[in-house]
Amino acid sequence: MLVRKARLQDATNIYELVNSLSADGTLLRRAFAEICENVRDFTVAESDEGVFLGCGALHLYGPHLAEVRSIVVRPPAKSKGAGGKLLQALLQEAESHGVGCVCLFTRIPDFFFRYGFRVVEERTALPDKIYKDCQNCPRLHRCDEVAMARGNLPKVSILGSKIEAEQLVRLGG
């Protein structure tokens, strides 16, 4: 198995796999144009024969925060280590950028505990995430995802203030 940075030629595979799990909210829906534009965020896993197995993305907010997004492995390839290798590659990438905290929102926290993530009880501790995704999400007030982070929670935000994020979550935008 090879885990490598994605190329534009991987965009169709990424688009189809990510969106195959977006209908039930497991993953955020991503437009093809958005995947192409952000393809350099993605890492892919492929078999020794070059078959696409899965992907994951690292979104950089700034030196204070990055987010693991769209991590998914094709059903026939699950439980063979691809998900773990993708996650570790994304964490190494965050480290190489000197990012202090990596966050993610998930319905399967158990998978992430073993890689050093812990639950963030108060999601407004991650205001940039709220400003980027949550404020436009139809599930803002009935979110069933667990916020998790690895490293020290950020003390600053780039997209909005913590107080504004708290108001947004309380009042519904």
Ligand X SMILES: CC(C)(COP(=O)(O)OP(=O)(O)OC[C@H]1O[C@@H](n2cnc3c(N)ncnc32)[C@H](O)[C@@H]1OP(=O)(O)O)[C@@H](O)C(=O)NCCC(=O)NCCS
H/E stretch holding 88: helix 82-96
CB of 125 to ligand X, least distance (A): 18
- Region of 98 on the Ramachandran plot (φ > 0 left; ψ -120 to 50 alpha; else beta): left
CB of 73 to ligand X, least distance (A): 4
Closer CB to ligand X, 19 or 26, in the complex:
26
CB of 78 to ligand X, least distance (A): 4
**Residue ranges binding ligand X (CB under 6 A):** 21, 26-27, 71-73, 78-84, 104, 106, 108, 110-111
The answer to whether 153 touches 120, Cβ cutoff 8 Å, is yes
| CA angle, 15 then 100 then 61, to 5° | 40
Closer CB to ligand X, 110 or 121, in the complex:
110
| Nearest C-alpha neighbor of 153 from the set 141, 162, 145 | 162
CB of 128 to ligand X, least distance (A): 17
Closer CB to ligand X, 101 or 104, in the complex:
104
Closer CB to ligand X, 79 or 152, in the complex:
79
Residue found by looking up tokens 């929670």 in the block: 153
